[in-house]
Amino acid sequence: MPAAAARRGAYRLRPIAGDSALGTPAFHPQVRTHAELTLPGRARAVALTFDDGPDPDFTPQVLAVLRTYRVQATFFVIGENAAAFPRLLHDIAAGGHVVANHSYTHPQLTTLSLGKVKDELGRTSDVIERVLDAPPRWCRAPYGEWDAPSLRVCARLGMEPLGWSIDTNDWARPGIGSIKRAVTRGIEPGSIILQHDGGGDRSQTVRAVSDYLPRLLDKGYEFVRPHV
């Protein structure tokens, strides 16, 4: 059996990336028909998520803001970026954040052959496990586009698919105010907020997060990591 395949076969026996609790029980996700768009559970619990990193300029800035307000988030990393900047994966996990899978090169999974989907998701899980000694439990498809075959691959690699309910469109750099309004006007219990710490100039995102976080904390919102 190839080494990469052997590692993928062991995913369900090891703790989640970004989770410091050793001895996490084996994880056997079901094959889903869709990605969850909101969180279940506690009132006023919401999730911050960041895609397309890690980035050597903007990921540390996002982490600094989250550290200031003692907030945890989920980082859906691109495999080739994670391989290039492994230290940043350690920094994310050390902050108590979740490191999750966002494919290796950011293609639309629904346009790929089954073998290419396995490669995109499997290689990224390999990188995360190699760096953090723990596999990812969460995966987000680029552009949020899943189909039945890619969802099967996701489950077989030991991951749950996660979408979002608030799209800030920060990738387009619409302005700090626009990003803030998307969050503050759209937020409700269970919201999952989509933002980006990689893929371009994310200075607007950093500023917007630093502005809206204290306001939402004052309103009683609790920022949590996704859980199963």
Catalytic residue among 51, 52, 55, 197: 51
Catalytic residue among 97, 102, 106, 196: 196
| C-alpha dihedral, 39 to 51 to 33 to 225, nearest 10° | -30
Q: pLDDT for 177-197, tens place per residue?
A: 999 999 999 999 999 999 999
**Domain residue limits, the chain:** 3-15+36-223
Q: Return all residues near 207 (Cβ < 8 A) that are at least 6 apart.
A: 176
The DSSP bridge partners found for residue 101 are: 77, 139
DSSP letter (8 states) at residue 36: B
Nearest one of 96, 97, 43 to 219, comparing CA atoms: 43
Q: Which residue has the tokens 């990738």?
A: 171
What sign has the CA pseudo-torsion 154, 97, 213, 174? negative
The answer to whether the pTM exceeds 0.85 is yes
What sign has the CA pseudo-torsion 21, 22, 26, 27? positive
Q: Does 28 qualify as catalytic in the annotation?
A: no
**Could you tell me which CATH number the domain at 3-15+36-223 has?**
3.20.20.370
Full pLDDT tens readout for the chain, 228 residues = 333 333 333 322 233 354 433 334 456 799 999 999 999 877 899 999 999 999 999 999 999 999 999 999 999 999 999 999 999 999 999 999 999 999 999 999 999 999 999 999 999 999 999 999 999 999 999 999 999 999 999 999 999 999 999 999 999 999 999 999 999 999 999 999 999 999 999 999 999 999 999 999 999 999 999 986
What sign has the CA pseudo-torsion 101, 102, 108, 113? negative
Q: Does 51 qualify as catalytic in the annotation?
A: yes
Long-range contacts of 109-115 (CB under 8 A, 24+ apart): 109/141, 109/142, 109/145, 109/146, 109/147, 109/150, 110/141, 110/145, 110/146, 110/147, 110/150, 112/150, 114/149, 114/153
Chain CA centroid to CA 91, Å:
15
In angstroms, the CA 210 to CA 60 distance is 13
Helix locations, the chain, DSSP H: 3-9, 58-69, 79-84, 86-94, 114-132, 148-156, 176-186, 203-218
